[in-house]
Structure formats: structure tokens, C-alpha cells
Amino acid sequence: MSPAPAVISKTSAEPAYAQLANYLRYRIADGTYPPGSQIPPEVTLGRQFNLSPMTVRRAIGILTDEGLLKPLQGRGTFVRAIDWQNSGFSLRPLAELVSQGGNTKVRMLNIHTVKADERLADKLRVPLQTRLIHVLRLLVRDGAPVLLQSGHLLYDPRQPLVEAELDVISLSGLLSGSSNTLVKKGELETRPKTLNRGEAELLRQPEGSAAFAMEYLFWNFQDECIGCGFFLVPFPFLSFKTKIGLWFDAPERGAAGTPAAS
């Protein structure tokens, strides 16, 4: 019930701004500052915890970035009601899928040069008939195919392609964050898809079963589009989760904001 001693330990390994941010997070979680309410002004917090304005602001800035607080100039700082809007699905599950751990292998199904048809020329913004490389690969984990990739790359005769480079431009490189120095920007779109006959066979899934279809497109530092394609991942192997709001146990009211005391 009481505002709690709520001391910030200057000797703790946890920085003061993080301690204050945690303290406020707990107070929001335990209902001391319910959604819509106003938290104490920065000067008050600064006096209460013996912190300089910049440190207080930093703590508030963290919670603001997390979507928990909404500061309004001239009015005060308020607790926001939670909503999914600012949140999103992390791509980590996808990155983990292609991380090429011990039991994961890439099986090249097909690789050959093709000439850009209208659709590809439009997508990659190259002239019709431009020479491209088409790659069809299967990611196999524990003996089971989990991901089918079909991709087109710009074929640059000045830079002969090695398999390693192919790899960088497609699966692990972009997703797992290897030291990829070629790509400036990229785009990824996900939609649900029903597997057709051929896809289902390659992925050893029943025809008509559901999968994530992810289309990608990326550019180099010269702002040339250097590759496009899609991944296909049947359901059981990939799903996207997200959590919003306050995901920890609020302490009993009156307890110190942070367990790390003294």
C-alpha cells in the first residue's frame, strides 16, 4: 500500500536507469499505476530516488519504447493500455529454422541459368531476357524436408558465383546474420498458402496442406535488386508468436522494486 522505500542501489551492477525502469514496470504490473493513470512527474521521481533528470528520463524512455508509457509534453506521463498494434512477430523462429545446426542440411535440387521473363524482369527491375540464376533448394532437418526455397539471382559475369556466395545471398546469410556485406536492404512478405502437387511432394506433405509462403526481395549498396524468391514452410515446422503487456510476476505491493538490493 505504501509507496515503498524504493531505494536505488548505486553500487548494484544494474544501472540506475534500469532499476528505475524496473521499479516503474512493477508498479504498473501490480496496479499501482493502472492503464490511463499518470505516473509521478520526472522531477518528483528524481527527488524521490536521488537521480538526475537525464537518468530519470532514460528510464521513462525505455518504458516508452516498450509501449508502456506515453509522455505528453506539458501534461504528464501516462500509462498506456496494452494493444497489439506496436508489437509484431519476430523472425527469430525462421532464422532458427535455417540456422544449419548439426542435423540440418541443404539439398540443392536444381541450379541453372534462365532468362528473365516479364514477371521477373519487372520484379528485379532488369531488362527482359537478362541472364539470371535460378536456384531450387530444400532444407532438410533430421531427415525431413522443412523448407523449400526457390530463388532468382542476378548473374554477374564479373563476379563468378561460388556456392558459398549463393548461400550468403539466400538462406543462412540474411536470416542468421552472418557477415553479409553485400545487401543494403530487403523486403519480406508472408502469406498462407495451400501446397500444390509438386510442392507437397518435395516437402513430403499431403497435397492441399497449409504452409507459410514468404516472398523476399533484396538490394545491394548500388540500389540494384540482386535477388528475389520465396520460401515455403509447411505448418508444423514454423509458427510466429508474440507476447504483449507485462510478462513477469508482479511483487507484493510495498516490496522494493528490484530484487537486487544493497
Partner DNA sequence: AAGTGGTCTAGACCACTAT
Partner DNA sequence: TAGTGGTCTAGACCACTTT
Interacting residues with DNA (CB under 7 A): 10, 15-18, 39, 41-44, 50-55, 57-58, 60, 71-77
Q: Among the candidate windows 14-22, 118-126, 139-147, 242-250, which touches a second copy by CB under 8 A?
A: 242-250
Which of a second copy, DNA, none does 16 bind, CB closer than 5 to 8 A by kind? DNA
- What's the grid cell of residue 61? 524512455
Q: Could you give the CA distance from residue 124 to residue 115 in angstroms, rounded to a whole number?
A: 12
Closest distance of CB 77 from DNA, Å: 4
**By C-beta, is 179 or 262 nearer to a second copy?**
179
Closest distance of CB 223 from a second copy, Å: 8
Q: Could you give the CA distance from residue 8 to residue 24 in angstroms, rounded to a whole number?
A: 12
Q: Is 247 in the site for a second copy (CB under 8 A)?
A: yes
Kindly state the helix (H) or strand (E) to which residue 154 belongs, with its residue range: strand 144-154
Of 100-159, which residues contact a second copy (CB under 8 A)? none
- The CA-to-CA distance between both ends of the chain, in Å, stands at 22
Q: Could you give the CA distance from residue 198 to residue 136 in angstroms, rounded to a whole number?
A: 13
Closest distance of CB 54 from a second copy, Å: 7
What residue ranges in 160-206 does DSSP mark as E strands?
Answer: 183-194
Q: 57: buried, middle or exposed (CB in 10 Å: 19+, 13-18, 0-12)? A: middle
**By C-beta, is 44 or 196 nearer to DNA?**
44
Which of DNA, a second copy, none does 211 bind, CB closer than 5 to 8 A by kind? a second copy
Q: Is 240 in the site for a second copy (CB under 8 A)?
A: yes
Q: Indicate which single residue of 21, 94, 169, 228 sits in contact with a second copy (rule: CB under 8 A).
A: 94
Q: Among the candidate windows 3-11, 79-87, 108-116, 136-144, which touches a second copy by CB under 8 A?
A: 79-87
**DSSP assignment, residue 8?**
P
Q: Is 95 in the site for a second copy (CB under 8 A)?
A: yes
Question: Residue-wise over 9-28: b if at least 16 C-beta within 10 A, else e?
Answer: eeeeeeebbbbbbbbbbbbb
Angle subtended at Cα 202 by Cα 197 and Cα 203, rounded to the nearest 5 degrees: 100
**By C-beta, is 8 or 116 nearer to DNA?**
8
Which of a second copy, DNA, none does 51 bind, CB closer than 5 to 8 A by kind? DNA
> What 3-state DSSP class applies to 100?
coil
Q: Could you give the CA distance from residue 70 to residue 37 in angstroms, rounded to a whole number?
A: 10
> What 3-state DSSP class applies to 95?
helix
Q: How many residues does the chain have?
A: 262
In the complex, which residues of this chain contact a second copy (CB under 8 A)?
Answer: 29, 31, 34-36, 54, 65, 81-85, 87-92, 94-95, 173-181, 183-194, 208-212, 218-219, 221, 223, 235, 238-247, 249
